[in-house]
Copies of this chain bind each other. A is one copy, B any other.
Amino acid sequence: MKCRVCKGPAVVDVRRHNAAFCRDHFLHHCEEQARRAIDSHDMFTAGERVLVAVSGGKDSLALWEILVRLGYDADGLYLGLGIGNYSDESGKYARAYAGRLGRHLVEVDLTAEYGYGIPEAAEATHRSPCGSCGLSKRHLFNAAAIEYGYDVVATGHNLDDEAAVLLGNVLRWDAGYLGRQYPVLPATPGFARKVKPLVRLGERETAAYCVLRGIDYQVEECPMAAGNRHLGYKETLNALEDRSPGTKAAFLFGFLERGHERFAVDAEVERDELAECSVCGSPTPGGVCAFCRLRAKVGAIELGPGGAPTSEPVAFVAKPRHESR
């Protein structure tokens, strides 16, 4: 196996590109794929402030590293989810990496600042923990970006993630979700811009990137996610990819080129109908937003009749307790 670029010994192969790379050219390949995604989708420019949602896993740490290497002004945001040891360990990886990179890490702790962790949310809602986790993250990533004046929130969603989400959306033909699934979502009132610079890299590539750059990351999968639907869709796509390399990329990029635009209007209609949450003020289809309803369910806040808050509205986002450099 020889490097496609220099013909030296290769250390990683990328089947869907029918290519292999030596260490240096693989690292360049990954950074180049991120650069292409950022430029082709006008995700952000050199002067803008980027907040990277950092879980401590391979994707988010690779993203942070790549953005800093590409010369962007990128800080991190770590959200403590209250998932026992898993969260404790994840936080350590995020903090250690922030120190190594010499960049700010904003920290928000769900339990200390919002009165619940993901296990409590799952118990209170009698539903998959992943649902509560996703909505908490979306709310707090956005709130932190607005609160601290970042231009854009960047997440480490890779090709495998996005293809699996797309499969779920397309199996239900959820027009609103299909209309919102895009590597860049522009800022709208109450929402910061959101971008996914790693959509052109598979998760095998982000893992290899971290290993070859010597980045220590949380290798464990979240214990609460085991057996969830998203992982099932990933397995499904992996089986299709094994039979026919390139299937995932053709699926995702075919959608971005020939599918997405046809659903964009559905997302616009939904966005136009948003109003302010009567508790926290963030945009919501009506009444109390999903985040505040979740907080009420776990007993962290009380809602009056008709969803009105029983006390003064809480701050849009609580001040983070910890900041490390």
Contacts and interface: CB of A to CB of B under 8 A. Distances in A.
A232 B243 contact: yes
Given A262-B262, A262-B263, A263-B262, A173 B255 contact: yes
Contacts of A236: 236, 239-240
Contacts of A171: 240, 247, 250-251, 254
Copies per complex?
A: 2
Nearest to A266: B258
Nearest to A236: B236
Nearest to A243: B232
Interface string A261-305: 011000000000000000000000000000000000000000000
Interface string A174-212: 110000000000000000000000000000000000000
Interface size class of A (residues with CB under 8 A): 20 to 34
Contacts of A314: none
A257 interface: yes
Nearest to A257: B173
Interface string A35-57: 00000000000000000000000
A244 B262 CA distance: 28
Interface of A: 170-175, 229, 232, 236, 239-240, 243-244, 247, 250-251, 254-255, 257-259, 262-263
24 contacts: A170-B170, A171-B240, A171-B247, A171-B250, A171-B251, A171-B254, A172-B250, A172-B251, A172-B254, A173-B254, A173-B255, A173-B257, A173-B258, A173-B259, A174-B254, A175-B258, A229-B243, A229-B244, A232-B240, A232-B243, A236-B236, A236-B240, A262-B262, A262-B263
